[in-house]
Amino acid sequence: MDDDRHVVSLDEVPADGTLLFTVRGDEGLEEVVLVRANDEVVAYKNYCQHWTDVRLDKGSGALVRNGELVCQKHAATFETGSGYCNFGPCEGSYLDAVEIDVVDGEVFVVEDDYAFERLGSSGEQTGSSGSRIDFTGT
């Protein structure tokens, strides 16, 4: 596995919360969160499906409780395993998943066109256009 795809050791992913990292893709830097789901670790892009300029993890870990990742803006809850929103203004939507793999206890981002950039935030504002587009496209 390429070094530029290595994110972190699995042990460093918190049991309650998320671990934020940044990837570089075709469109520049993007933030991704790692979250535990049962015995697995999954990754999602770091924005809510209600208002896509709202980050789930603002740098100190998103709220995770009872197997759900919580958007603290309007309390939407997303199932950690699937990213499915089971409550809130964007109910029925899914978080954008990012493909990762775990090899020998190390987490790698394996999605094409993404390279690991750094742990933590991108240092950029999300939703740079200033507009808000929710999952219904409105």
In terms of Cα–Cα distance, which of 129, 130, 127 is closest to 49? 127
> At residue 129, what are phi and psi to the nearest 5 degrees?
-75, -20
Q: Which residues bind ligand FES (CB under 6 A)?
A: 48, 50-51, 54, 71, 73-74, 76, 88-89
Q: Give Rg (Cα) of the chain.
A: 14
Q: Which is nearer to ligand FES, 41 or 56 (CB)?
A: 56
Q: Which is nearer to ligand FES, 7 or 77 (CB)?
A: 77
CB of 32: closest distance to ligand FES in angstroms?
17
Rounded CA separation 83/2 (Å): 27
CB of 50: closest distance to ligand FES in angstroms?
3
